[in-house]
Amino acid sequence: MSEKHHIIPVWFFVGVMLLAYGILILISGLSEWSNPPNTVLANLHAPVWWGGLLTIIGAAYVLSFRPK
């Protein structure tokens, strides 16, 4: 992003944020697998696949845009 300043690209920070949130949500979803919260469609275990998706996207961004 920056030619003049050599700032770490914003996409790296996006990746770190998504990766951290993905891991937290995935762990939270797995821990409540057998005792899901009292929400509609809890049987779909949305935190597990949504947390997994965030983890994958976050990791991809971190790897692609990590400071050299």
Partner 1 sequence: MTTDRMISLAPVDLAIIVLYFLMVLGIGFYLRKFAQSGEDFFLAGREMTAWVAGLSFLSANLGSLELLGWAGASYQYGILAAHWYWVGAIPAMLFLGIVMMPFYYISKTHSVPGYLQLRYGPAASGLSAISFALMTILMSGVNMYAMAVIMKVVLGWNIHFSIWVSSLTVGIYVASGGLFSAIFNEVLQFFLIWFGALLIPILGLIETHGWDGLVARIKSNFPGQDFTHAWSTLGSAQDNPMGMHWTGIVFGLGAIISMGYWTTDFLVVQRVLAAKDLRSAKLAPIIGSFFKMAVPLIVIVPGLIGLAVLPEHLVPQGSAIAGQHTYDEVLPLMMARYMGPGLLGLGITALVAGFMAGMAGNVSAFATVWTYDLYRPFMRKSAPDAHYVSMGRWCTIIGLIISIGAAYLAMGFTSIMDYVQALFSFFIAPLFGTVILGMLWKRTTAAGGFAGLFAGTLSSIGMFLIVKFNPEALALIAMSTHAKAMAEDMYRALWSWLICVLVTVVVSLMTKPKPASELEGLVYGVTAIPSEGHVPLTQKPIFWAGVAAALFVVLQYIFW
Q: Is 59 in the site for partner 1 (CB under 8 A)?
A: no
Instruction: Kindly give the interhelix angle for 10-31 and 46-65, rounded to the nearest 10 degrees.
Output: 150
Q: Is 56 in the site for partner 1 (CB under 8 A)?
A: no
11 vs 49: CA distance, rounded Å: 22
| Tokens describing residue 33 | 């697998």
Q: Is 40 in the site for partner 1 (CB under 8 A)?
A: yes
Which residues of this protein are in contact with partner 1, per CB under 8 A? 1-5, 7-8, 10, 13-14, 16-18, 20-21, 24-25, 27-29, 32, 36-37, 39-42, 44, 46-47, 50-51, 54
